[in-house]
Structure 1
Amino acid sequence: MSRLTRFIGTPFGLATLACLALAGWALWSGGVLDGPIAREVRTSSVYAAPGVELDEPAAEQVIGNRRLVVLFLEPGADLRDGCRATERAADGTLVLALSREVDDDGYDTYGCAWLPGRDDANFGRAAVAETTIGRGADQFPDEPVEAVKVIVVNYDLLVRADIVPDGARTISPSLPRYLVAAAAVTAVGVGAASIWLAARRAGRLADRRRARRQQLADSRSRLSAAAAVLGQQIIDLDRRYARAERGAASGKAASGKQDAAGGTGERGDFVRRYRQLTMDYTDLLANIVAADRADRADVDRLTERLERLIGRGRELAGSPAVPGS
């Protein structure tokens, strides 16, 4: 119970309750509890009980858009209950319930005037309308459409006598249905806008990811190119390194002196710088191999280090200490 209480206290729970209340109101005002007569006359001016032979489209055409509802009930039916069942569904109209007499040829009739002010200022007019609307209809017990025509004539006379207000009957959905429809349209609009915004945001994110991937691919291409250039430099310098090392060894034998790196003079300096270059390159190899898993910043840093090594390689290549091949 406490969990349910906490849920109801949340904004989502309150919104759920509001939606349930709106749905219940819409169902109730829409006639979910109505009987078959009320459900029919909400959108129609004629009701025929099962077993009653009636050309309903023809009867509907005769009545037109008048504020008139005619009920053809089965013989022996309770006309009063049938008529009163239409109070909410046919509000603002004049209702006449008919049924065939059991022991006589003709109709039993009962009228209900669901007109504005029927219980107050227009009580007398409503009573006159209820007692007048069915006059003459029992002359056509076997021709219900003709009986409807007589009822329509009576209705028109009541309108001319200003007993029944003139005007057309309008059948419109109840307010909750409008609200539900508006909520549905709003939900569709908001949902479509949300989907569009989400798709646009996803597209932008995808573009940014694609741009980052492209930039990373470009950085890795630069790294690979720099590594290839440095590798070729080291290969080219390796021949000069071999000659410089031999020259340094000869100088050592001739002078009997050796510098700290194992060579003498400019040749020894070349040997030391070449060895340092190759060691630095070797240290970078593991990072270069792992560059496929590195981000762009790390790849760019590796490329900068390689470019510095390439610069050192160019300086060695231009050194006059060892003649080229």
Structure 2
Amino acid sequence: MTPSVRRWLGGLVGTPFGLAVLACTVLAGWALWTGGALDGPIAREVRTSSVYVAPGVDLDRAAAQRIIGNRRLVVVLLEPGADLRDACRQVEHAADGTLVLVMSRDNDEYDTYGCALLPDRDDDNFGRAVVAETTVSRGVDIFADRPLEALKVVTVNYDLLVKAGTVPDGARTISPSLPRFMLAAAAVLAVVAGAATLWVGGRRAGRLAAARRHRRDEHADARSALGAAAAVLAQQIIDLDQRYAHAARRGGSDSKFARNYLKLTTDYTAVLDRLAAVDGADEAGVRELTGRVESLNRRALTLAQSRPRARSGRSGRAAPSAD
């Protein structure tokens, strides 16, 4: 292993993500091993079934399973000349807790090998295991040419062993291994956690979207109010401009009105520049401009309500000429 790979693995394992990946890998390997990933064809079959029929052997497997039912009995039917002892070793873990009978046709009889995979078979129940292994196959040679009838004899022998207390009573239960339960629980937890995360994230995203929509609506309202105020101001400027032009044509001396009007139009021009440059999302800028436009509106209204000053001039009569 190169130093770079070693450093990469060390950095990966040293993180929470790396530890989680390592734990999942170990759990998956354990599940594969206990679930029979390394089993041979016989063990893989009897892990979930009561009958194994080797290729080339003539037997109705479905009918054989119905005959055995849910008894703690497993029958392995192999081809002639097969190693029965090895087959028994192969199913030791897959058929644990059952009475296994391995059979193969030998001319006009059956070659049989029994293995009682019962609890404590090597200690307290050793004698019972031996009795069960030698008793379960009695009488099968009579039906060497009828394997289903031979299976019926095997089930009768098994029931007699149960009644005698040699084999524990009860049905065979086939359940997934503990790692599979753990993987299933982890999958359920992952789905629940993912759904909860999506729900919480969706609610948060919805709240954020609603808040953004509310702010956009407020900005739009503020922008609309600013536009309306600017339109009113523009109309007042137009009206005042007509008054200013009329006064200029008359050559009036209302200099105060003219000064105020010119200052108002100058400020209005500056506000127009700001109106063109302000961003609709700039709430503070829109609020400040609205205040300035409203202030200009008040000034324009005050200026419009002011009365024009009367034009002053000299009046007199010319002196008569002397003759």
TM-score, normalising length from structure 2? 0.91
Deviation (angstroms), 1:243: 3.7
1:276-322 per-residue CA deviation (whole Å, 9 max, x = no partner) reads: 10000001111111234551221111111000000000100111135
CA distance in 2, matches of 1:185, 1:322: 89
Which amino acid letter does the alignment assign opposite residue 23 of structure 2?
A
Find the partner of 1:192 among 187, 192, 195.
195
Aligned twin of 1:72 = 77
In 2: Cα distance, 1:160 partner to 1:234 partner: 114
C-alpha offsets along residues 236-270 of structure 1, whole Å, 9 cap, x if unaligned?
001222244456x555xxxxxxxxxxxxxxx2111
| Counterpart contact for 1:94–1:113, Cα < 8 Å | yes
Distance 1:116 1:162, change over 3 A: same
Structure 1 residue 173 corresponds to structure 2 residue 160 = no
Is it true that 1:113 corresponds to 2:100 in the alignment? no
1:71 is paired with a residue whose SS is strand
Give the corresponding residue for 1:35. 40
Structure-2 separation of matches of 1:84 and 1:227:
96
Which SS does the other structure have where 1:5 is aligned? helix
The aligned residue for residue 216 of structure 1 is: 219
Alignment of 1:10-25 (within 5 A): 10-25=15-30
Which residue of structure 1 lines up, in the alignment, with residue 130 of structure 2?
127
8 Å Cα contact 2:57/2:78 also seen in 1: yes
Quote the Cα distance in structure 1 between the aligned partners of 2:247 and 2:24: 90
1:238 paired to 2:241? yes
5+ unaligned residues in a row in structure 1: which ranges?
Answer: 252-266
SS at match of 2:131: helix
From 142, 148, 166, the counterpart of 1:139: 142
The 3-state SS of whatever aligns with 1:107 is: strand
Match runs of 1:1-325 below 5 Å: 1-101=6-106, 104-245=107-248, 251=253, 267-322=254-309
Deviations 1:120-176 (A, max 9, x none): 000011011111111111111111111100000111111111111111111011011
Counterpart-to-counterpart distance in 1, 2:27 and 2:264: 80
Residues 322 and 86 of structure 1, relative CA distance in 2, 3 Å threshold: farther
Segments of 5+ residues of structure 2 without an aligned counterpart are 1-5, 311-323
SS of aligned partner of 1:110: strand
Deviation at 1:219, TM superposition (A): 1.1
State the distance in 1 between where 2:44 and 2:156 align.
26
Task: Give the match's secondary structure for 1:111.
Answer: strand
Contact 1:244 1:268 in 2 (8 A): no
Does the 8 Å contact 1:94/1:115 carry over to 2?
yes
Change beyond 3 A, Cα 1:322–1:22:
farther
CA distance in 2: counterparts of 1:290 and 1:142, whole angstroms: 101
CA RMSD of aligned residues (A): 1.4
Contact kept in structure 1, 2:42 and 2:87, CA below 8 Å: yes
Q: In the TM superposition, what whole-angstrom CA distance separates every residue of 1:101-124 from its partner, at most 9, and x where no partner exists?
A: 1xx311000000000010100001
Percent identity for Structure 1 against Structure 2: 65
- Taking structure 1 as the reference length, the TM-score comes to 0.91
Aligned residues: 305
Is the CA contact (8 Å cut-off) linking 1:244 and 1:270 kept in structure 2?
no
Alpha-carbon distance between aligned partners in 2 of 1:321 and 1:109, rounded to the nearest angstrom: 131
AA aligned to 1:223 is L
Whether the 8 Å contact between 1:38 and 1:85 is mirrored in structure 2 is yes
- Asked if the contact 1:158–1:164 (Cα under 8 Å) also holds between the matched residues in 2, the reply is yes
Q: For residues 172 and 138 of structure 1, what CA distance do their matches in structure 2 show?
A: 34
Match of 2:316 in 1: none
